Structures are given as structure tokens and as C-alpha cells.
Amino acid sequence: SGWWTLRGMATLGDYFAGNIYEVERAHRIMELAAKVASLADEEHTPTQIKAMFDERPWFRISPVNGVEAAVFNPAGEILLIKRKDNQHWAIPGGVAEVGQTLPEGALRELWEEAGLRGEAVRLLGMFDNRLWGEYFKVHSTIMVFLVACRDFTPTPGIEMLDAGFFSADQLPQPLHPGHDRRVPVCFTLYQTGTTHMDPANSYDADMPMHQRE
């Protein structure tokens, strides 16, 4: 996860730079972040990844908010959609948009990807993509909301190939990276009425910075 840290440092360094030398240093750190990220990316060169970083400044400073809608039918099966871009199965979801609450974003994604309307009834969990095998180009936090629906007949959106409900022991393959690990957990959270939060290390605001790691 080192390149996420480098990318954030470079963005903040560039934004708060007081002179041209600090700007140059920030740009060098961003190039290094792209090189490190390319080690885990077989499809893009460091130059291409650097271009992605520069094109998308809106999620360079802090983690992106991802939102997903977990819908269970009366039989206890979960709704999954099949993506058109890679033919992987996933929980309906995407990036939250400005001007919407996170539950509203999850409901929008549900409608766009599966053609279903519903009500977000509770938060199932908050998942850090770095810890769940979802190797997106940015650090993100995925908020999964339990959504109650009256209609359980999905209609795949324009970016989807298929949609359907599946039991925990008959999940379709392949599941999208990250979803292959989160979907089984969502079954447990739904059945137990619990909410997931990734573990946190203790943080002492009075501790000197050099002693925190």
C-alpha cells in the first residue's frame, strides 16, 4: 500500500508548496508512486499510471467513497450483477457522487445497474479496499448498505450483462476482486444483524509523529 501513501503525500505537497523546489519534489514523489503502483499492474506502464493520477485529481487527496447495495430476496439469496467490462460478478455499486448521501449513492447504483428500487435500511459494513483484495488505482472505502426491495426481478443496466439472486453455496464465478471476499461476509452480516468495521490500530494524538509506527 506504499504507493497510496506516496500519492497522497505528492498531492498535498504540490497543493501546499511554497516554492518551485517543493513543487518539483512533489512531482518526483508522484512519479515514484506511479512506478511503485506499476509493479502490481501488468497492464499499464508507470507513464500511463502517472497520467491516470494526473487526470483524476478528485480522488488523490483522500480515500474515495465507494457505495454498494446488498439486496437479499425472501429466500435469503443475494443480488449480483455481471459486469460487461470483464464478465465478473459483483454487488451493485460504484463511486459516490457529489450532492448525494452515501445511501442515496447506493440506491442510485442499484437502479442503474440492476433496475431495482429500494430503501437503505442499515449499514452492513465499511471495507478498506487495500485489505480486501480490490486493487483499484486509488485508496477507497466501500460502504455496503442493506437495501430492502419489494420487487425482486432485476433488469441489467447498460453496463451489465446479467443480474440475478444467488445463495451463499451457489455463487457465480468469477466474482470481481474484493467481492469474492466481501460477498460471503455480507451473508453473515445480514443473518446476524451485525456491522463490519476493519480493525484500527490505536492512535494517540499526543504521541510524537516519529513514534507512531
User: CA-CA distance, 115 to 109, in Å (whole number)?
Assistant: 9
3-state secondary structure of 196: strand
Q: Is the Cα dihedral 156, 157, 159, 165 positive or negative?
A: negative
pLDDT digits (tens, 9 = 90+) for 35-78: 888 887 777 888 888 887 776 554 456 788 999 999 999 999 99
Q: Would you say how long the chain is, in residues?
A: 213
CA distance 197 to 154: 29
**pLDDT at 211 exceeding the cut of 60:** no
Cell numbers placing 41: 499492474
Lowest-confidence region among 20-34, 56-70, 178-192: 56-70
Amino acid at 95: V
SS3 call for 142 = strand
Q: How far is CA 169 from the centre of its chain?
A: 24
Helix 20-38 / helix 46-55 crossing angle, nearest 10 deg:
120
- Which is more confidently placed, 135 or 60? 135
CA 209/CA 199 separation, integer angstroms: 21
Mean pLDDT over the full length of the chain: 87
* Residues linked to residue 72 through DSSP beta bridges, in sequence order: 78
List the Cα angle 110/116/118 in 5-degree steps: 80
Single-letter amino acid, residue 31: E
Q: What is the widest separation between alpha-carbon atoms in the chain?
A: 62
Of 167, 174, 67, nearest in space to 111 by CA: 67
Average pLDDT over residues 137-160: 93
- Secondary structure percentages of the chain, helix, strand, coil, to 5: 35, 25, 40
